[in-house]
Structure formats: structure tokens, C-alpha cells
Structure 1
Amino acid sequence: MSGPKSLPTGVKRWAEQRLGPAVTVRNASHERPSSRVWELERGDGVRFYVKVSPSEAAFTRESLAYASAVPRLGHGRAPRLLDSHAGELALLLTAVPGTPVKASHMTAGEQLAVHRQAGRLTARLHQAGEVGGEARAVSEAAFAAVADRAQTHLARAGDRLGPDEQQLVRGYAEGLRGVGRVPVGFIHGDNQPRNWLWSRGEGAGRLALVDFERSRPAPAVQDLVGLATGPWLDDPDRMQAFFLGFGRRLTEDERYALRCLTALDAAGCLAWGPDHDDPFVTARGRRTLDLLMREDHP
């Protein structure tokens, strides 16, 4: 973590009015500066989490997700929302068992089980309710919105990308605009191992999803970008396991859209990572872009 983050006094008081006194309070934030999460434990040993959202938009997205789509994942597969405080942008959540997959030492078999269950849970989330009306219109315009940001990313990244790399990114941005209609659904928005909790000791293990502040109706394939630029590059068997649980293969348009999205994600990583001193994000962008260049310009 980047440094200590104290639970605001007013938020702690509000949470204890709902739960009773907290015996211990532990900072459980991610490393990114905008992450503000604390674990509260009562005297009876029961744990809860308080999350202060980074923005009103994130608070609204996550509140709506917990009220509508997240219950479709099933019991114990995600936290439950106990209460919210709009004035403080605070959410009070139950704890689910498990440790973050990103921080766990796992066997190859466990990794395949994790990705198979992740595919199943992702499919459930995508199918959580009809996406119609204004939400469908926004979803169908999502690719154009991502493409529109490409030039901004390239300008910020500057000479971190060479001329051929910039041309490749622009080409994929234009290609994304031409993708036809693809399946839309309620996506997680940050669907990757840092937001997966794995619990051993229950048969083959059990996966839960957390952190829904980026959840929204969108093209379903947008939920796969973090996986395609991360764990699937290291082990294609994990991708196969995911789709086994997901229950379907991507359409041809989705496969092309995913390639375009990974290129634009790489540009975004190379714009954002160095500016925020984040070597992990920077390395992810560089790795993805190098792979695309090798494949497109052998």
C-alpha cells in the first residue's frame, strides 16, 4: 500500500451505529491512491468492510450493482450491501471468505479451477437482467467512446510509443468503430485476479468477486480486457478454463473487438503508468503492445 489511510471518524461512527462497536479496524485498500477500504471486526469475531468510493459516479454504480446484478452471483459469491451513506460516499459490506487470487500461491490445477469459476460468475453477472432503453444505447456506443480516447492516450504517452506503434493503435481505434453489434450485459468493469477471492477447504475451492465500482451495462467483451492482457498471456489454458465456465465462445466480432480493446488498453497504460509511477501498469501496456507489434509486423 502507498501509505496509511485512516477511516474517517464520521464514517466509523455511522458504521458502528449499524454494526455495534468495532474492536479492530484494518486498512484494506488497494495500492492505488483512490482505493479507500477498511476491514472492521466486532468483538464476536464477525468481519465487515467499509468502502469510501472515489467519486459520486463510482458510488452510484456500485450501489446499483449490489442492489440488482450482484445477488445473481449466488450466496457467498460476492459481498452483500448492508447499508450506504450517500453523503460520505460510503458502503457497508459483508465479508466473504478467501484471499485475493493475485496474492495467492496456487497449483496449476487450482488456477484452472479459479478461471473456470470466474467464467461462470462472469456469465451470471452479464446475464443479470435485461439491458434495454438508454442503457443499451450507451452500451452500443461504448466502443466509439473507447476509440475516441485513443488520441488522448497517445498524446499523453508521447514518445513512449514509436511511430509504428502509434499507427497500430490508431488503426485499432478505427477498427473498433466498425465492429458490429455484439452481446451486451452488466459487466464487472475490473474483472481480474486482484478482485477475485479464492477460498480453500470447500471441496475444489470457491471463488467470489469483489469491487463493483466500475460495474455498468456494456459490451460483454469489455470485461475480458484485463484477463487478455494479463493471466491469459502467461497461460492459455487459463483462458480455455474461463470459457468452459463462461458457457460460450466469443463471436467473430467480439474476438476482433477484444484485440482492438487490448491495443487501446496498452496505449492507456503507457500514458497513465509512468505519470503515476506505476511500474505494473506500465509493464502491462508495454508487454501487450510488443506482442501486437510482433503479431501484426512479423
Structure 2
Amino acid sequence: MESWHSNRLSTRQAGLVETWLPGVRLVSDLSWDLIDTAVLEVESARGRYIVKAGGPANHHIEREIRAHQSWVRVLSCQNRAPKLIHADRSASVLVSEYLEGCLVEGTEAEYAAETYVQAGALLRAFHHQAVRSDPDYEAAATAKVLAWLGEPHRIEDSDAAKARAILGTYEPRPVDVVPTHGDWQPRNWLVDGNEVRVIDFGRFEFRPAASDFCRLAVQQWRTDPQLEPAFFAGYGSDPRDSELWNVMQLREAVSTAAWAYNVGDHEFERQGRQMLHDALHRF
């Protein structure tokens, strides 16, 4: 007989959830099958929740737990992000509250200016909790992208050579880093009535603030340029440094194209190659 978690969870993970949420039942499997993160909407007598779990090599769950235990409260206390209910880092499993709302992506809200004013304000609150100088971030981020270029990919040879040349001569300097979401875009925003909420902190890390603008810059802001000033009206200022921003977008493009190829997401891979083509034109 199929288990309540559709065999998405290990025996240990399922046992923990059953202890935390007696009588747990599956409502919907929301997992994104390109990676080994299980995302399950469940309910028990205590209410409705989201269960997330990952395999031994999955770093997203640990990051999300760390984010919730230290930084997400600034949003969750306003009901603008989910509250963490239970977590076990060693088992790579967590339970968070279920937030009402529908995904912004694919709805009218995706191209509504008010959505971006709110998203900017929420991100400002998240970023402004802490700041520190990191002398190593830029060098490490660049080395990681150069390593991607050494792995199998379908980036055009000429584009790969240009990217390698630019990044190979780039001279990193210390940068200010803040708590970042890592995937700040409409597929991780909910709208409930007129209120925007944020989910999925599995890519949380301390990075330059502008790194959280990268996805928007190549997607929604490009489709409707009026959304960019709406976002910064909520955020309060535009902290982008032109040289760092250009390098950041180049690294993001390479990583997107190479990672998407690696997991077999062909649409995202095409987007990454287009991002790279556009990023290279800035140099």
C-alpha cells in the first residue's frame, strides 16, 4: 500500500513527521522533480502544513532551516512568510505552516506594479537585518562559475570562451553581504487578497544584496520595465554597483545554463543561454 508521503520521504523522515503531526495526511504533492527535494502539503488534527525533505546530498533543507531559525522571523511575524514548526537538520526534514494564497507567477499579479512595491519592501526588511564585509565572496563565486564552465554544458563555445576570459581577469574585492533569499521572483511569492507573501528559503545565504535582483532583471523587469522602478520604490534605494552587477549577471547566466543542463530543464537552460548572450554584451 502506498504511504501517505508517496514514498517521497525516508523512513526516518516520515517517522519524525508522524511524531510531530499525529495522523498526518497528504493533501498535495508539490515537489519539483528536477531535484531531490520533496515538498508536500499535508494536514493533521493540528492544521495544515508544508513538509520539506531532501536526500543526503541535498543542501536546500539545511539552508532553509538555518534561514528560519535566524532570519525569516522578520517576515513570518507579519504573516508574510511561513513560520517554522519543526525541523531536524540531521534528517534533512522540516515542517512549516501552510500559508494561504496562490502563486503570483502566471496570474495578473505577476505584472501588477503593487506586487513589486510589496516585494521590494519585504526584501528590504529581510536584507536590512544584518550586513558584513566579506573579503572572499567574489573570489569564491567566480571560482564556482569557472568550475561550471569546466563541466559538461551546451553553452556555445564562443560564449564560454568570452565568459572564461572575463571571469579569469576579474579582480575580486571585498563586498558587503546580507541575508539573501536566493530565488526572489514570482514563483516564490504568494498573493492572498492584496497581500504578497514569500516562500521557499532553500537557497538562503549571505550574499551581496543585488544578487536577489538577478532573476527579476532577466524576466519580469525585461517584459515590463515599469516593474523595476515599482520594486525599488518599495525597496527604498538601488544598491547596484555597475561593475559588480555586470559580473553578477554573467555568473548567474553561466550557472543557470550549466545547472539547467545538468538537471535536464531544457526551458531554463535556454533562458540561461540567452541570459549569457545578453550579459556578454555588457562587456
TM-score (norm 2): 0.85
Aligned mates of 1:244, 1:174 — CA distance in 2: 36
Q: Residues 118 and 207 of structure 1 are in contact (CA less than 8 Å); yes or no, is this contact kept in structure 2?
A: yes
Q: 1:224 aligns with which of 195, 213, 231?
A: 213
Residue 90 (structure 2) pairs with residue 87 (structure 1): yes
Alpha carbons of 1:40 and 1:189: their partners in 2 closer, same or farther (altered >3 Å)?
same
Aligned mates of 2:44, 2:155 — CA distance in 1: 49
Q: 1:192 aligns with which of 179, 185, 203?
A: 185
Map 1:75-154 onto structure 2 (within 5 A): 75-102=78-105, 104-106=106-108, 111-128=112-129, 130-132=130-132, 136-137=133-134, 140-154=135-149
Q: CA deviation at 1:285?
A: 1.2
CA displacement, residues 36-85 of structure 1 (integer Å, 9 cap, x when unaligned): 111111257x3101111354744432222112210112421111111112
Structure with the higher helix share, 1 or 2: 1
Aligned mates of 1:149, 1:124 — CA distance in 2: 29
Alpha carbons of 1:5 and 1:118: their partners in 2 closer, same or farther (altered >3 Å)?
farther
RMSD in angstroms over aligned alpha carbons? 2.6
Map 1:170-209 onto structure 2 (within 5 A): 170-174=164-168, 177-178=171-172, 180-200=173-193, 205-209=194-198
1:283 maps to 270
Instruction: Specify the code of the residue in structure 2 equivalent to 1:230.
Output: Q
Q: Residues 117 and 245 of structure 1 are in contact (CA less than 8 Å); yes or no, is this contact kept in structure 2?
A: yes
Q: 1:237 aligns with which of 197, 209, 226?
A: 226
Q: How many residues align?
A: 276
Aligned mates of 2:170, 2:126 — CA distance in 1: 24
Aligned mates of 2:282, 2:207 — CA distance in 1: 28
Q: Which runs of 5+ in 1 are unaligned?
A: none
Alpha carbons of 1:248 and 1:172: their partners in 2 closer, same or farther (altered >3 Å)?
farther
CA displacement, residues 244-278 of structure 1 (integer Å, 9 cap, x when unaligned): 11111124xx2321221211222223323233321
Secondary structure of the 1:271 match is helix
2:3 maps to none
Q: CA deviation at 1:196?
A: 1.3
1:67 maps to 69
Q: CA deviation at 1:125?
A: 0.9
